């Protein structure tokens, strides 16, 4: 049995909180001066080397990053739920038609 209906608002909020939280952790690393070491380590784990330079902490840019990730996280989560619900309703209609002996193929 499938998942069924997903509330777009709820998934939007969960996605926004998760994405914003992840970026808040990153900003904490930037603010404490640890972000460069983390970035270098992550790149090295992926067998990559780059001249990425982490800039000093800027409260205005930090706020912009958090707002942008919250908005994009919400929009992405809500859109994913809407798409899931749309595709799920097509699948349910197709299964119902198949049970009635009618082909659901187009």
* Owning domain of residue 45: 8-99
Separation CA 52–CA 38 (nearest Å): 11
| Alpha-carbon span 99 to 23, nearest angstrom | 48
Residue at 92 is within a domain:
yes
Q: Give the pLDDT of the chain (106 residues) as one tens digit per residue.
A: 567 899 999 999 999 999 999 999 999 999 999 999 999 999 999 999 889 999 999 999 999 999 999 999 999 999 999 999 999 877 655 555 555 544 444 4
Whether the CA torsion 16, 18, 24, 29 is positive or negative: it is negative
Residue 18, pLDDT score = 98
pLDDT for 103: 46
Number of domains in the chain: 1
pLDDT of res. 35: 98
Structural domain includes residue 39? yes
User: Which pLDDT score, from 0 to 100, does residue 97 have?
Assistant: 53
């Amino acid at each position: 049995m499938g998942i069924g209906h997903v509330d777009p608002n709820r998934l939007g909020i969960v996605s926004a909180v998760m994405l914003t939280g992840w970026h808040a952790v990153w900003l904490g690393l930037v603010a404490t001066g640890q972000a460069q070491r983390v970035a270098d380590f992550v790149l090295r784990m992926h067998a990559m080397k780059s001249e990425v330079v982490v800039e000093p902490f800027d409260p205005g840019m930090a706020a912009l990053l958090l707002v942008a990730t919250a908005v994009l996280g919400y929009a992405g989560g809500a859109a994913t739920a809407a798409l899931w619900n749309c595709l799920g309703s097509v699948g349910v209609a197709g299964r119902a038609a198949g049970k009635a002996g009618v082909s659901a193929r187009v």
